[in-house]
Amino acid sequence: MTDISDPEELQSALMKLRMEHGDLDAAIDAMATGTSFDRLQIQRLKKRKLVLKDQIAKLESSLLPDIIA
């Protein structure tokens, strides 16, 4: 992930990551409820989903202003 400083670009990147995260969630659910599913593929999707979750958290924290206590 590249460093983005423009708030609009951050919001756009955040939206894309959230959409991909949701798509992966739906794909994992669909695969898990099927009669035959590939455990390895599901593990890979879950790992990718976790990476996306970390990236989303990082972008969200960069959008919040620093508060000095």
Residue 35 has pLDDT above 80, yes or no: no
Distance between the two ends of the chain, CA-based, in angstroms? 30
> pLDDT band at 34, cuts 50/70/90?
confident
pTM to 2 decimal places: 0.78
At a CB cut-off of 8 Å and minimum separation 6, what does 62 contact?
10
At a CB cut-off of 8 Å and minimum separation 6, what does 34 contact?
none
Q: Where are the domains of the chain?
A: 7-61
